[in-house]
Structure 1
Amino acid sequence: MSSSSSLRIATAQVMISDDARRNGPVIRRLMREAAEAGARLILFPEGCLSGYAKEQIRDWDQVDWPAVEEELRQVAALAAELRLWVVLGSAHRLTPPHRPHNSLYVIADDGQVVDRYDKRYCSNTEILGYYTPGFAPTTFTVDGYRFGCAICIEINFPELFVEYERLGVDCVLLSAYPVDSVFEVKARAHAAINNYWLAMATPAQTSALLNSELISPDGTVLARADATTELIIGELDRDAPEFDIALNKARPWRAGARQGDIYRSRRVCDPRSDSPAGFV
């Protein structure tokens, strides 16, 4: 059961197709399951609604954009009905001839698309042939818990995860279509280094490499899908005693250390310090 200080979230692991009219009903079914399990937010993988470029999508001309938009409207309407926040991966169409963004739609529990995260660090293939990059972080708050968004290859850019720590997030929502298993090691490292939760949603197509997970602020895995699981449920709880060191001691201390005052105030004027070789 959720306590008054905790927040229950769901992370999906679904098979993604190139047809939004097939993807949409699966998304809505899992939204209902998440709501029935008491979740307040559900995270879906990269490209979950539209299909992901290089995998399901080889040419944007094959995408039925009106279908994508209609399915998104139905997802938003159900979010309002269920009082559920939804973070949904999809291509976001721009005005031709501009290529789409690789995005996460942030849909509030009143059915409004309140924000959108556009992938900032696209891969070489993505940026040359498929997507237009974004340039800003995205944060939002649900029941007192602050979230940030990231997508796939951005796992390789630690500065994005440090940025979210500085922005005060409690949990990073990472949607991905991973290509190697070391991805999971990096995700756990970012969570442990920055002392926040990290939810990672991956498609069923990549379950042989790794599965969707919820990672704690000390880097341990709280919930993990297996090859046949479509949905995992996990709890964010600031008052959990096992996370006291990570949240209440390590995180504030590291934030102060990054500012550097604790070190600058202890800098000394000493020839044995200033000389590269020192003195015998």
Structure 2
Amino acid sequence: MKIALAQINTDDNVEQNLEKVAGFVERSSISGARLVVFPEATMTALGTNLVSACKNYGSSWRASVASLAKQFGITIVIGEFEEAADGRVRNLAGIYFPDGTRSEYAKIHLFDAFGNKESDEVEPGTTPTVVEVDGVKVGVAICYDIRFPKLFAELSRSGAEVIVAPTSWGAGPGKIEQWETLARSRALDSNSFVVALGQADPAVTGVKAAASSPTGIGHSLVSDPFGHAVIELGKEESLEIVELDLELVQRAQQTIPILENARLGY
């Protein structure tokens, strides 16, 4: 399975963010990728007016991304938002397919940590999500979810061979090391590939970022089911294409049958 990693930075300009997305989708398609993954909060960056972005651009955003998936014949996983009933928003990974259909995953674990309180603005999701891309089952997580191994185990039990995790990771002491360790650990936990795709580092790219919000550190990576980093990116914006050897999933399931050996749900 050939996938594209679109490590970009976004800000509060939804229209410009969409233009950037369009360029990366086209390049991904030309490269032969069948799936392109964008970061969490690609639609508008964390720390911006999320409700306003949903009201003003929600419908047009979805129509535009759906059009890109259809035009370039590629599945797109992308961070976006929609209004929730209680005045908050839902933090989503939208999944847009070339046939014009759409699925979504709503972030279950909210970032109420390191002094942040995501639950003030975001309504939590409740349902793990697995979709099919060219016959391959792909699980979806978002950012803080990567700290919760049971979610990744559940996605694997539901058949996921690849788990994508769009992210806007917060900077700080030790956060890069935590990010890399968590991504590789979740791959080991679930006998699956983990595609941990984050926002680039605004301190490097020059994109204006909200100082108090997690707005990216770069360092996206893909871990194989044995915890080996297939590819690791730097801090800058970049597009990388990776070919996943899915035979490694079956080999890991046979060699380290974590889920089969689990007892009492642990």
TM range, normalised to the smaller chain?
A: 0.7 to 0.9
> One-letter code of the match for 2:94?
Y
Partner residue of 1:256? 260
Matched, 1:165 2:156: yes
Does the CA contact (< 8 Å) of 1:8 and 1:233 recur in 2? yes
1:232 to 1:247, Cα distance in 2 relative to 1, 3 A? farther
> One-letter code of the match for 2:232?
R
Does the CA contact (< 8 Å) of 2:9 and 2:237 recur in 1? no
Partner residue of 2:232? 224
Aligned mates of 1:244, 1:62 — CA distance in 2:
45
Question: Identity over the aligned pairs, expressed in percent?
Answer: 25
Q: TM-score, normalised by structure 2?
A: 0.84
Aligned mates of 2:259, 2:250 — CA distance in 1:
16
Matched, 1:65 2:58: no
1:205 to 1:227, Cα distance in 2 relative to 1, 3 A? closer
Aligned mate of 1:100, from 89, 92, 96: 89
Query: RMSD of aligned C-alpha atoms?
Result: 2.0
Deviation at 1:244, TM superposition (A): 6.2
Aligned mates of 2:67, 2:239 — CA distance in 1:
21
Q: Gapped runs of 5+ residues in structure 1?
A: 1-6, 261-280
Matched, 1:145 2:151: no
Does the CA contact (< 8 Å) of 1:225 and 1:231 recur in 2? no
1:255 to 1:100, Cα distance in 2 relative to 1, 3 A? same
DSSP-derived class of the 1:63 partner: helix
Deviation at 1:214, TM superposition (A): 1.5
Deviation at 1:14, TM superposition (A): 0.5
Q: TM-score, normalised by structure 1?
A: 0.80
Aligned mates of 1:162, 1:244 — CA distance in 2:
15
Which structure's CA Rg is the greater one?
A: 1
Report how many aligned residue pairs link the two structures: 243
- Superposed CA deviations along residues 212-246 of structure 1, whole A, max 9, x for unmatched, are 11211111111222233421111122236xx6642
Deviation at 1:101, TM superposition (A): 0.3
Q: Gapped runs of 5+ residues in structure 2?
A: 205-215
Q: Which runs of 4+ in 1 moved over 3 A?
A: 59-62, 206-210
Aligned mate of 1:32, from 3, 6, 26: 26
